[in-house]
Structure 1
Amino acid sequence: MNQETVRSFSLLLSATPRGARLARRFTTEQVRAWELPLDPDRAEHIVAELAANAVTHGRVPGRDFRLTLYVIGGTLRIEVTDARGDRRTLGPQHPGPADESGRGLVIVEALS
C-alpha cells in the first residue's frame, strides 16, 4: 500500500485587512518551504480571494478566521474558514461587465 506524505499548516488570523495580508504571506512562505512543484503566487492569489471574503462577508467582531493548508502527496488543499458558520456560501457568482465586485470565487475556481 502506498503511503503518501501528509503535511498541514493552520493558524487563526484576525478578521481584518492585516489578517488577510498575513494569510497571503504565510501561504507563499509555506508553499515555498514545502518545495511543492507549483506556483506559490497561484496559491497566494487563491488565499487572497478567500481571505478577503472571510474578512468582508464573514467577519464577526472579536472572532478570527482560520487558514489551513494541507498537502497530500503532491496536491495542495486550501481552506479558509470564517466566523460566520451560520451562513452558507453562495458559490461563484457571474457578475456583469459593469459590476465592480463578485468575481472572487470565479477567480478561485479558475485557479484551482
Structure 2
Amino acid sequence: MKQTNAPQVGTRTAPFGVLLSPTPRGARLARLLAVEWLRTRPEVPYRVAEDAAQLVAELAANAATHGRVAGRSFRLALLVVEGVLRIEVTDTRAGDLPRRRPPSLDAESGRGLLLVEALADRWGAAPGPAPQKTVWAELDLPLS
C-alpha cells in the first residue's frame, strides 16, 4: 500500500515547514510565519496560538543564538496531529542538548527554557541526524 503525506480528515493538518537564517532576523521571521500559519488553523484556538507564537519565538531565538553555524539554516516545523500542536526547531549544532539551568539573579539571559517549560504541555530535545538537533514543544488542543 502506497503511503502519502496527505492529511487524514479530523486527525492531521497539513504541516508547515521553512528554512530560515540563524540570525535575529530569521528568528523574528519564524515567529511571524508561525503566527500567520496558526491564524489559518481553525482547530487551534486563539489562546493556544498565542502560547505557540511565544514558544516559536523562544525556540527560534535559541537556534539563532546557540545553534548558529555560519552558512547553515535552521528549520521551523509546525504540525497538528490528533489534538496536539507540535513545534519543532532544528539547527545544525548538535553539541549539547538544551536543558533548563537556574539563571543567576543578575543574568540578562538564560530564562528562555523556563518560559518554554511554563507554556508547553511537553517539550524536549533530540539529536540527529548529525550534525543536527531538534528542540520541540507540544501544546494540547482543547477537545471540540
- Does TM-score exceed 0.5, indicating one fold? yes
Say which of 48, 64, 82 aligns to 1:55. Answer: 64
Q: Give per-residue Cα distances to partners, 1:86-111, cap 9 Å, x unaligned.
A: x1313111113222211101101100
- Report the residue type matching 1:96 in the other structure: S
- Partner of 2:80, secondary structure, is strand
Query: Residue 101 in 1 paired to residue 105 in 2?
Result: no
| Structure with the bigger percentage of helix | 1
Counterpart mapping for 1:22-37 below 5 A:
22-35=29-42, 36-37=44-45
Runs ≥4 residues deviating over 6 A: none
Q: Is there any run of 5+ residues in structure 2 with no aligned partner, and where? A: 1-9, 121-144
Aligned pair partner of 1:82 in 88, 91, 98: 91
Separation in 1, partners of 2:38, 2:105: 34
Task: Letter of the 1:47 partner, please give it.
Answer: V
Aligned residues: 110
Post-superposition Cα deviations, 1:60-100, rounded to whole Å, max 9, x if no partner, equal: 11110000001013210000011112x13131111132222
Q: CA RMSD in A?
A: 1.7
Structure 1 Cα separation of the partners of residues 82 and 39 of structure 2: 16
Task: State the 1:38 CA deviation.
Answer: 4.4
Task: Tell me which amino acid in the other structure corresponds to 1:94.
Answer: P
Distance in 2 between residues matched to 1:97 and 1:84, nearest whole Å: 28
1:33 maps to a residue whose letter is T
Query: Is the contact made by 1:7 and 1:72 (CA closer than 8 Å) also made in structure 2?
Result: no
The one-letter amino acid of 2:30's match is A
TM-score by length of 2: 0.70
TM-score (norm 1): 0.89
